[in-house]
């Protein structure tokens, strides 16, 4: 649910995603809400995967524990290019709380807080 990892560091990550007609989450030529949540989660997964790869350690499995404060302003159409930013708000043991924001043409279209658990 991402096309490219654009930036990645200890504080967050940015990805892009090209919405295609054959995506399983497309209905009536629009990407649905579950896809937006998955896009944020996959951005977080790409971040930890990249960090682990750089540190030459195994990539852990992560699980969405909770999604809070979800706000969807607009569903993106097929052919849209999305930019997703995640910021680490808190990291305690195996739990990470992130803030995710999705933009289309620099316009905020969705955001949420997400709790992610890492299985070591």
Provide the residue ranges of all domains of the chain, joining segments of one domain with +. 4-119
pLDDT per position as a tens digit, 24-40: 999 999 999 999 999 99
108, two tokens: 């905020």
pLDDT per position as a tens digit, 1-28: 999 999 999 999 999 999 999 999 999 9
**DSSP states of 20-41:** -TT-TTEETTEE-HHHHHHHHH
Angle, vertex CA 95, rays to CA 89 and CA 98, nearest 5: 30
81-85, 91-95, 111-115, range with the lowest pLDDT: 91-95
Q: Indicate the fold that domain 4-119 takes in CATH.
A: Thiol Ester Dehydrase; Chain A (3.10.129)
End-to-end CA, the chain: 23
């Amino acid at each position: 649910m991402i096309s490219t990892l654009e930036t990645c560091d200890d504080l967050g990550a940015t990805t892009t995603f090209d919405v295609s007609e054959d995506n399983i989450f497309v209905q009536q030529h629009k990407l649905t809400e579950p896809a937006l949540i998955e896009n944020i989660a996959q951005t977080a997964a790409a971040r930890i995967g990249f960090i682990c790869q750089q540190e030459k350690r195994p990539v852990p499995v992560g699980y969405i524990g909770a999604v809070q404060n979800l706000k969807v302003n607009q569903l993106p159409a097929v052919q849209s290019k999305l930019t997703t930013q995640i910021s680490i708000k808190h990291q305690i043991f195996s739990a990470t709380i992130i803030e995710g924001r999705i933009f289309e043409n620099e316009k905020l279209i969705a955001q949420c807080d997400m709790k992610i658990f890492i299985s070591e």
